[in-house]
A and B are shown apart, each in its own frame.
Chain A
Amino acid sequence: MNLIENIKMAIDSIMSNKMRSFLTMLGIIIGISSVISIVSLGVGGQNTITGEFEKIGVSTIRITVKTAEAETSDYITYKDIEQLKEKIDYIKYASPLKYQTGVASSERKSRTSMIYGTNEDMIYIDNTEILYGRFFNKIEFEEGRALAVIDETAARSFFGTSKVVGRTLNIGSSANTKKVTIVGVTKSQFEMFGSMVEEDEMPVIIYVPATFLDILYSKESRISELYIMADSKENTEAAGILATNMLMNRHGNRDRDVYKAENLMKQLDQINTVLGIFTAFIAAVAAISLLVGGVGVMNIMLVSVTERTREIGIRKAIGAKTSNIMFQFLTESVIISCLGGIIGMILGFAGAYLLGQLAGITPTVTPQIVIVSIAFSSAVGIFFGIYPARKAAKLDPIEALRYE
């Protein structure tokens, strides 16, 4: 009595009751497919976010001034940034980030926008691709020229085309606006949201020289947020420490802890942890339906044992051992569950791709997901098949032969 015989017998029996077998499988199919689609979308989402972060750069550090505790003299200056770049070898790029919410308008359209003031290094720190034109340079930054860089979505929204180098926008607060000339168009910043959001609803970000932003809003050049990029991943931590040290020295505020350096990778880890817990939680809920499916398998196997009592009696009379009968029924429930698992897996991936299309996430299919789901559905088959199989195997042959 070998495995092949058992499998052949089980398939014969499953095929002789096609509708019933399919309905039994359905519970497993639904359970496995929901777990698979949730997990692969969850992992896909994590990968997308990781990708976005890696685009910004794994060697990026954000230094912020704790505004609640800081005195005016503690704020970072342009001179500080110049010095950081000059004196610390590990620092490759450094740029301030100032932002104001304002209004930007073309002849066609007027939209609320985030106006980001940076220096020429920001394009490298952000790691954004320039599609047309260029980013503003060091001299233009130092002179505070009225230049702007926008992304292609914003360009289309303002002008109906993305080739807008040389055209102008009026930006600023409602009280005071200035005309800026667009020198560059970057790739869309919010690609990961895909088709989830209408183009006109995407937030607009306009990059201008930070010095120009100071002129536009007539403010002092206080900088509370600074991005630095180290020359390598390994030196990132050190670059952050050196930078804050130097800032404290220059501002003479070593006694007060007003600068905070954060590695963006750490934030990524946090986000991933949260996403992971979230995915696991939903998957666990979906797994409950798998359990319900397993109970369905057990139920049908019990019915099947009762229906086939006489068959079991005959098999025993002609020499089947208890273990032969046990394995026969166990094989049947495992095949039903496994088949359900495989179908569920295929449907789950298909569902994940469809949902992923809508959400702009590429679902991730890992060998682990495949192996775990097949192993899990087999385990369901064994777990819920054992009781009916034992019941069949323990039938008294004489009683079973008498059963009508």
Chain B
Amino acid sequence: MIKLENVVKVYATGEISLTALKGISMDIKPGEFVSIMGPSGCGKSTLMNILGCLDRMTSGKYILNGRDISGLSDNELAEIRCREIGFVFQSFNLLPRMTILENVELPMVYAGIPRKERRERALAALERVDLSNRIKHRPNEISGGQKQRVAIARAIVNNPSIILADEPTGNLDTKVTREIMRIIQKLNDDGTTVLLVTHEPDVAQYSKRIIHMLDGEIIDDNLVNDRIIF
């Protein structure tokens, strides 16, 4: 499903150039639940941005669902972000002026789905993250855990083939972290491929496979033996 071949990313600012990714190759199959771990500055966010089609690589090859997306235009990348990828961020990134329901509907607005279907699908997605009430509230009226559940609902509402979660529990306490990880695990159980970036070993234990990165390289890639399962 995801195949990276020798992906290099160089940030050139003025005379200094920084190589953030030094030839990453990896293979993620449908239905996998992968954690990417590593200290800050190791390149995991850069990798995430490239996988999420927010950023372009300097060289290498990225094949998503059998399609080479290395040379696509901005609009084609936007299209892929819209239909193939669901983002979950550490800071939730909900739009404050919109209600919860409207936030979840937004990706479908860009996908051109008619209003009635949007409403139905948004309600279904909120149901999947156990958040069926308070949907007319605005994000500042609900708790952090609830916000992250809204963000997850927004990520899955267009039925993407992969969910990219960048430190999704970074701003949450232990109890809420467990709730969120349980939801993510359930989504994975239902067949959604999940890629998780985290620096917390506990959180990584919910996934099936852990990739360790250091200084822009993969140093370790193992299956999780003692996985936490609800």
Contact = CB atoms under 8 A, between A and B. Distances in A.
B81 A317 contact: yes
Contacts of B95: 311, 314-315
B78 A1 contact: no
A82 to B, nearest CB: 85
Interface in A320-344: 320-324
A276 interface: no
Contacts of B109: 1, 5
A8 to B, nearest CB: 10
Interface stretch (B49-57, B141-149, B203-211, B220-228): B49-57
Given A1-B112, A5-B109, A320 B54 contact: no
B154 A318 contact: yes
B83 interface: yes
A319 B111 CA distance: 8
Contacts of A318: 81-82, 87, 106-107, 110, 154
Contacts of A2: 112
B93 interface: yes
B74 interface: yes
Contacts of B175: none
Interface residues of A, number: 23
A401 B78 contact: no
Contacts of A356: none
Contact of B83 (A316, A319, A321): A319
Binding site secondary structure of chain A:
helix
Interface in B76-99: 78-79, 81-83, 87, 89, 93-95, 97-98
Interface in A177-195: none
Contact of A316 (B78, B98, B111, B154): B78
Nearest to A404: B91
Residue from B75, B78, B107 with most neighbouring chain A CB atoms (10 Å): B78
A51 B81 CA distance: 67
A323 B76 CA distance: 12
B193 interface: no
A320 B97 contact: no
Contact of B78 (A13, A313, A322): A322
A134 to B, nearest CB: 77
Contacts of B35: none
A364 to B, nearest CB: 44
B93 A317 contact: yes
Given A317-B93, A319-B81, A324 B110 contact: yes
Interface of A: 1-2, 5, 12-13, 16, 310-311, 313-324, 397-398, 401
Interface of B: 49, 52, 54-55, 74-75, 78-79, 81-83, 87, 89, 93-95, 97-98, 106-107, 109-112, 154, 158
The list of the 9 closest CB pairs from A to B, nearest first, reads A319-B82, A319-B110, A321-B78, A318-B107, A314-B93, A319-B81, A397-B54, A317-B87, A321-B75
